[in-house]
Amino acid sequence: EGAGPQEYTLIKMVVLEPLPNCLISLKGKKISLVAATLRPETMYGQTNCWVHPDIKYIAFETVKDGVFICTKRAARNMSYQDFTEKDGEFKILLEIVGQDLLGLSVQSPFTCYPKIYALPMLTIKEDKGTGIVTSVPSDSPDDYAALVDLQKKPAFREKYGIADDMILPFKPVPILETPDFGNLSAVYLYDELKIQSQNDREKLTQAKEMVYLKGFYDGVLLVGEHKGSKIQDVKKNLQTKLIQEGKAVIYYE
């Protein structure tokens, strides 16, 4: 880790009806699952979001944006970044175990899928970001590996009560092209390095570094208003656009 704080883009994924039982008491409020990402320019390729079944999350009221769902640790950090009225104070509306969020549907910015689902990822770390991750399987090897695990293992889906139609229709979307890895970098490297599952940590770390470097320095966007532009040139613009449209905020930790 570097010396200074890390800046993340916090993507607001708005929870859609029908609300899962654990959120019924919040009916009528705007509720968002919030995910910290380093790659706001890839949001065109979201196919789902990730929640850890065993992590404890909370719902808390923000000043401007309705209710956020994330770990308590992230809520505390946010309370020092003007998300709540008083520094260090946040009102916990609910405590929720990840398991109970699985299968809920959200609307997330920029993706071509009007509705995406919260699915289980077992490698999520409790002490990073919000504990919720947005999934871009075209460009994140971790996301692709976790999605393939669910797609090819019906028993894994059943264990968490995930219906086939929350997963099977969601294909990685080509959003960014690099000369070396083509237009689905994560898929290319998953195959090339013969990654077996989301637990294949060593190879996934290697794949992640490769995708990130090539994507940033050689990547060209294939979709959206900056189609044809280099990632380096538009990453910041896309972050700003998300923020201006009220779909994201900056978050540090």
Residues of this chain that bind ligand A2H (CB under 6 A): 6, 36-39, 42, 124-125, 128-129, 131, 133-136, 139-140, 143, 208
Contact 151, 168 (CB under 8 A): yes
Our CB check for ligand A2H shows the closer of 79 and 138 to be 138
- Shortest gap between Cβ of 55 and ligand A2H (angstroms)? 9
Is the Cβ of residue 26 or residue 134 nearer to ligand A2H in the bound state?
134
CB of 230 to ligand A2H, least distance (A): 16
- CB 201 to ligand A2H: min, Å: 11
Give the residue at shortest CB distance from ligand A2H.
Answer: 129
**Measured from the CB atom, is 15 or 173 closer to ligand A2H?**
173
3-state secondary structure 114-173: CCEEEEECCCCCCCCCCCEEEECCCCCHHHHHHHHHHHHCHHHHHHCCCCHHHCCCCCCC
CB nearer to ligand A2H: pick between 98 and 131: 131
Specify the residue, 90 or 251, whose C-beta has the smaller distance to ligand A2H. Answer: 251
Instruction: Work out how close the CB of 17 gets to ligand A2H at its nearest, in angstroms, rounded to a whole number.
Output: 26
Q: Taking the complex as a whole, how short is the minimal distance between the CB of residue 101 and ligand A2H, in angstroms?
A: 14
d(CA 70, CA 86): 18
Torsion angles phi and psi, residue 12, rounded to 5: -95, 115
The amino acid occupying position 219 is G
Hey, what are 94's tokens?
A: 């609910």
Distance CA 216, CA 231 (A): 6
By the 8 A CB rule, do 133 and 183 touch?
Answer: no
